[in-house]
Amino acid sequence: MPEQHDVRLKTLETQVACAADQNLLDAFLRANTWLPHGCSQGTCGSCKMQVLEGEIDHRASSEFILTPHERSEGLALACQATPRSDLLVEPVAEVADDGVVRHPLRDVLGTVSALEDIARDTRRLVIDLDEPLPFTAGQYVELLVPGTEIRRQYSMANAPADTASIELHVRRTEGGAATAGWIFARMHVGDRVEVRGPFGVFGIGRPQNEPAILVAGGTGLAPMKSIVAAALAEDLVPELWLYHGGRTEQDLYDVEFFRDLDFRHDHFHYRPVLSEQDWDGANGMVTDAVLEEFPTCKGFAGYLCGPPAMVEAGRKVFKRRRMAPRLIHQEEFTDASDLARR
């Protein structure tokens, strides 16, 4: 059995046991001690910690995300670093009680119950779980690619009330080990899958007074679908707009599902947008559609999910329309080739 070390979190005066081959974030989340984090892959820097006492192994921490100077100052990435001794640590980001219910990290097995093409190079994957996996709308899980140690991250698209299964939206990546090499090639209904989660802080986890504008690009729609379902079922926001961008109609999916919600709920508005095809809906960049519809976003909350360029454009639009920066929330979707360049 791997050697274990005690890791103390100064802010909350909490202590957890962490194996020598286990990253710090994993140890805390499994103990249901919430830490700020985003990607869990060492690419966003959201989980940076100050190591106040003890020694750590930085493992695969990128010098682009955690610079040599930061390392010399005692900083580490909680999702990458493992302990070499007992530790005293402090997260860089504030750990505050925001009223959101948190769920411990767990490993769960499941069975593929549905696998269907829903848009260009996009599949819906449904996994029935052997045991319930509670999560908050907007969170994601990791899937282990069979025969490898590769894990890939996908956001839940189903409502959090459904803990017996998870719905994932997967876009094919050329040469991708998880997509082109597995989910789009040799995965079948009935296959067993290893799932780890939930991860992430993106989403609407409690009632808010601000109306919300959700902007999704491609499979960035997945967490938005879960957020919309939770927001409508639990009355989390006074009014809700969902924008989904694609190049052509081949890139849109679940259109009728959202149109039906739009029809049945006066305070939900669905806006599909195409950038490379003329049609009877909105045309142009999805973020420009927001710019055209809202003369001001002051007093609104914004949620962005999709490719990095779209997310950055969305932030600029929200700021241009005077949305408070603290009310802008984002989740970037990157593929393996994007990560390799960081």
Residue 338 confidence (pLDDT) = 47
pTM (2 d.p.): 0.90
Task: Please state the rounded mean pLDDT for residues 9-24.
Answer: 91
Cα separation, 217 vs 248, whole angstroms: 12
Residue 73 confidence (pLDDT) = 93
Cα separation, 80 vs 65, whole angstroms: 11
Cα separation, 223 vs 118, whole angstroms: 16
Cα separation, 199 vs 139, whole angstroms: 6
Tell me the domains of the chain and their CATH numbers. 4-91 (3.10.20.30), 106-199 (2.40.30.10), 212-339 (3.40.50.80)
Give the model confidence (pLDDT) of 140-162 as tens digits. 999 999 999 999 999 999 999 99
Residue 1 confidence (pLDDT) = 62
Determine the straight-line distance between the first and last CA of the chain, rounded to whole angstroms: 34
Residue 218 CB contacts under 8 Å (≥ 6 apart), including other chains: 122, 171, 245, 246, 251, 306, 307, 333
Give the model confidence (pLDDT) of 212-267 as tens digits. 999 999 999 999 999 999 999 999 999 999 999 999 999 999 999 999 999 999 99
Residue 342 confidence (pLDDT) = 43
Angle at 255 between CA 247 and CA 246, to 5 degrees: 10
For residues 82 and 89, is the Cβ–Cβ distance under 8 A?
no
Give the model confidence (pLDDT) of 81-91 as tens digits. 999 999 999 98
Residue 67 CB contacts under 8 Å (≥ 6 apart), including other chains: none
According to DSSP H, which parts of the chain are helical?
24-30, 68-72, 221-234, 255-264, 286-293, 308-320, 336-340
Residue 128 CB contacts under 8 Å (≥ 6 apart), including other chains: 110, 111, 113, 164, 165
Residue 11 — very low, low, confident or very high, per pLDDT cuts 50/70/90? confident
Mean pLDDT of the chain: 93
Q: Measured between alpha carbons, how far is residue 27 from residues 15, 106, 219, 254 in Å?
A: 10, 11, 30, 37
Give the model confidence (pLDDT) of 164-176 as tens digits. 999 999 999 999 9
Q: Measured between alpha carbons, how far is residue 196 from residues 130, 168, 176, 191 in Å?
A: 13, 13, 20, 16
